[in-house]
Amino acid sequence: MARLVLKFGGTSVANLDRIRASALHVKREVEAGHDVAVVVSAMSGKTNELVGWCREASPLHDAREYDAVVASGEQVTAGLMAIVLQSMGITARSWQGWQVPILTSDQHGSARVLGIDGAELIRRFDERKEVAVIAGFQGIHAESGRITTLGRGGSDTSAVVIAAALKADRCDIYTDVDGVYTTDPRVVAKARRMDRVAFEEMLEMASLGAKVLQVRSVEAAMVHRIKVFVRSSFDDPAAPASGTLICAEEDIMEQQIVTGIAFSRDEAQITLRGVSDHPGVAAAIFGPLADAAINVDMIIQVVSDDTTTTDMTFTVPTADYERARLIIEGARAAIGFGSLQGANDVVKVSAIGIGMRSHAGVAARAFKALADKGINIRAITTSEIKFSVLIDAAYTELAVRTLHTLYGLDRA
């Protein structure tokens, strides 16, 4: 007998039929003898609607009231799931964040979980095999007693931290895809579902744009060492297919060198030419961007040959591109540079794999393969378990496919 947390995302509870279908997965686990806590999202589209209402009510609304409104989507599905489970003869009770309680910070709209008291839920597992159906996404700030929410996509994080608090053996994330793929299957038809992926790799993939899981949930899983199983609620409940297990590196028998290829179109490049090369110039460029909360990603500084000027290239999110240009132009006197060039039609393609730690030349092979296809690399960054190249957006699919094949990821 194990203790499981089963999380159902928006499409898995989109309507009563979907809630019933998801409840059958819960039923299967209960009948197998497991302790089960269920975490639910709002019905798909519901949270967007609630956010829209807040904005319509007043563009500058009180963040505490925003949370009071948007947390309601999960309240509805938690109650409905409990009713449906009960109708199937399963003992079940719904819990809102404040009832558990799930204690959070007071950063309304993006609160962090500080602590969860799982004692009562565990007592009910032991005494009456009661399934706990918990509203995801929400918590309570203990001092003020106000409802908080954990940020968009936050019910993934709810599920993982609840799994940690309940000392669960596994956290199953039921969604509308059957796992995590080596890359986006819409771009590479030969993308494969991964059986296992290490926490660190999944964290990179989620940060680099794979949308299956909220980044924070992967961080939490890594910190608390919670095995997370991404799987489909659209499977036959009687004979569910497999999914992708996100786990510790040690639990992966055959580690590939590269496990996945990610790409992000949300990149824009800014290059400063003829930057006067003196101590403090990087601070003069990136300080004002940081002050404006613009996230700079790749940074490349060219070593100057005449020791008086250099070139500096960096990338920012597409949405911040114009703002970043204005800020840099505004700081021109303080920085001192010749010209500013920018490009919005760029994409960052990344290869991720823990195996890179122990294998040399992994990135070099990619540079060669991309060159053979005539793809020009604008910028490169590397870290311990990934490397990224910035290229023209027109080559996105060709580059992703090329790397996917190069590292042996294509489905046979």
Q: Is 139 in the site for ligand ASP (CB under 6 A)?
A: no
Q: Which residues from 299-338 bind Mg ion, rule CB under 5 A?
A: none
Which of 11, 12, 41, 269 is close enough to bind ligand ASP by CB under 6 A? 41
DSSP annotation string for 77-120: HHHHHHHHHHHTT--EEEE-GGGTTEEE-S-TTS--EEEE--HH
Which of 118, 139, 153, 154 is close enough to bind Mg ion by CB under 5 A? 153
Distance CA 285, CA 25 (A): 53
Q: Which residues from 184-213 bind ligand ASP, rule CB under 6 A?
A: none
Task: Determine how β-strand 228-232 pairs with β-strand 170-175.
Answer: parallel
Residue 410: strand pairing partners: none
Q: Smallest distance, Å, CB 150 to Mg ion? A: 12
Residue 176 · residue 11 · CB < 8 Å: yes
Q: Which is nearer to Mg ion, 213 or 247 (CB)?
A: 213
Q: Is 10 in the site for ligand ASP (CB under 6 A)?
A: yes
Q: Is 47 in the site for ligand ASP (CB under 6 A)?
A: yes
Q: Smallest distance, Å, CB 285 to ligand ASP? A: 34
Choose one: 39-47, 114-122, 235-243, 266-274; the region binding ligand ASP (CB under 6 A).
39-47
Instruction: Give the torsion sign (CA, 335, 341, 346, 349).
Output: negative
Q: Which is nearer to ligand ASP, 217 or 259 (CB)?
A: 217
Q: Which is nearer to Mg ion, 153 or 179 (CB)?
A: 153
Choose one: 5-13, 119-127, 130-138, 322-330; the region binding Mg ion (CB under 5 A).
5-13
Q: Smallest distance, Å, CB 50 to ligand ASP? A: 9
Q: Is 11 in the site for ligand ASP (CB under 6 A)?
A: no
Residue 334 · residue 287 · CB < 8 Å: no
Binding site partner of 139, from Mg ion, ligand ASP, none, Cβ cut-off 5-8 A by kind: none
Q: Which is nearer to Mg ion, 81 or 335 (CB)?
A: 81
Q: Is 153 in the site for ligand ASP (CB under 6 A)?
A: yes
Which of 97, 118, 139, 154 is close enough to bind ligand ASP by CB under 6 A? 154
Helices (H), 300-358: 321-330, 332-335
Q: Which residues from 7-26 bind Mg ion, rule CB under 5 A?
A: 9
DSSP annotation string for 391-408: EEGGGHHHHHHHHHHHTT
Q: Which is nearer to Mg ion, 9 or 179 (CB)?
A: 9
Structure tokens at 274: 């003829």
User: Nearest residue by C-beta to Mg ion?
Assistant: 153
Residues with Cβ within 8 Å of residue 233, at least 6 apart in sequence: 8, 9, 11, 12, 18, 21, 22, 25, 174, 175, 176
Enclosing H/E stretch for 255: none
Site size with ligand ASP, rule: CB under 6 A? 13
Q: Which is nearer to ligand ASP, 22 or 259 (CB)?
A: 22
Backbone angles phi, psi at 75, to 5 degrees: -60, -40
Q: Is 154 in the site for Mg ion (CB under 5 A)?
A: no
Q: Is 182 in the site for ligand ASP (CB under 6 A)?
A: no
Q: Which residues from 64-93 bind ligand ASP, rule CB under 6 A?
A: 73
Backbone angles phi, psi at 252, to 5 degrees: -110, 115
Backbone angles phi, psi at 382, to 5 degrees: -135, 155
> If DSSP codes are grouped into helix, strand and coil, which group holds residue 315?
strand
Binding interface with Mg ion (CB under 5 A): 9, 153
Binding interface with ligand ASP (CB under 6 A): 9-10, 41-42, 47, 73, 136-137, 152-156
